[in-house]
Amino acid sequence: MSEPDALRHPARTRSFTRRGGRMLKQSHQDAWERYAEALVLDVPRPRGADGSTGVDPAYRIDPGQVFGRSAPLVVEIGSGSGDALVHAATRRPDWDFLALEVWRPGIGHAMAKMGGPLPNVRFLEADAALALQSLLPPGSAHEVWTFFPDPWPKQRHHKRRLVSSDFAATVAALVPSGGLWRLATDWGAYARHMRQVLDAHPAWELASTGRAPLRPVTRFERRGTEAGREIVDLAYRRA
């Protein structure tokens, strides 16, 4: 294996649209400039096309070192503009939150919502499906959250959906027995897809279909409800 190949994950179908061309609003840019040094993890990147959203697969982080303490860790996959993240981190200062997001304007927006850096939050600008294969120690997450991932509603795009058997195995390695993976979607077809994938996966068992306790009602969710879409929450327990 050549050196460049050793520093790259295998090619895959992306589960996200980068939207990297959008500029940050001034308030979000200001928040990025004030807080990114403290809150955004600086990690080594692999070479190649995914260098901006990938993490060197040889790199590991120690949550205790990152946050300076030992506390339950929530890993949020696709934190968007940070509504759930900031809400939960404010209400659970005894928990730590690591948010993986490929959309830099979303990270800037989330930091602007804080009104000041929250010591129990860190961001990683990265593709979670790749980074989480190797980034964290096994069993290090108390919970994993995936709220409103891109549903890729067209049939030809279903292969892009984040929730898959392979990714379910990746998440299963992150949580100990009894740990939870919380998901939410406003697309009925994606909810059925999630149930089909996770009900069939030996690592997971359905724990709840109630609303996640720390998930707030967001503008995005209200738009879905107003459009007539049902909000579905799922919580799966690591078997």
Residue-wise pLDDT tens digits, 127-151: 999 999 999 999 999 999 999 999 8
Asked if the model's pLDDT at residue 39 lies above 80, the reply is yes
Phi first, then psi: what are they for 48, rounded to 5°? 105, -170
What's the Cα-to-Cα distance from 169 to each of 27, 73, 132, 172, 218, rounded to whole Å?
38, 19, 11, 5, 29
Distance CA 91, CA 84 (A): 11
How far is 62 from 43, CA to CA, in rounded Å? 12
User: At 121, is the secondary structure helix, strand, or coil?
Assistant: strand
Phi, psi of 206 (to 5 degrees): -65, 125
Q: Is position 14 within any domain?
A: no
Full domain range(s) for residue 117: 23-238
Count the neighbouring beta carbons within 10 Å of the beta carbon of residue 99: 28
Q: Report the amino acid identity of residue 198.
A: L
Is residue 10 situated within a structural domain?
no
Is 127 noted as a catalytic residue in this protein? Answer: no
Q: What's the chain's average pLDDT?
A: 89
Q: What average pLDDT does this structure show over 196-213?
A: 98
Please report whether residue 215 resides in a domain: yes
Question: Is 4 a member of any domain?
Answer: no
Residue 2 lies in a domain: no
Tens-digit pLDDT profile for residues 143-199: 999 999 998 778 786 888 999 999 999 999 999 999 999 999 999 999 999 999 999
Residue 74 has pLDDT above 90, yes or no: yes
Spatial distance between the Cα atoms of 4 and 80, rounded to a whole number of angstroms: 31
Q: Which of 50, 62, 96, 150 is catalytic?
A: 150
User: Which of the four pLDDT bands, split at 50, 70 and 90, describes residue 1?
Assistant: very low
DSSP letter, residue 175:
S
Residue 31 clears pLDDT 80, i.e. is over it: yes
pLDDT at 153: 79
CA distance 227 to 127: 29
Taking the CA of residue 62 as centre, how many other CA atoms within 13 Å lie in the half-sphere pointing to its CB? Answer: 5
Residue 71 buriedness (CB in 10 A; 0-12 / 13-18 / 19+): middle
What CATH code is carried by the domain that includes residue 144? 3.40.50.150
Give me the torsion for CA of 132, 138, 141, 146, rounded to 10°. 30
- pLDDT confidence of residue 21: 45
pTM: 0.88
In a domain, 7, yes or no: no
Is the confidence at residue 212, as pLDDT, over 70? yes
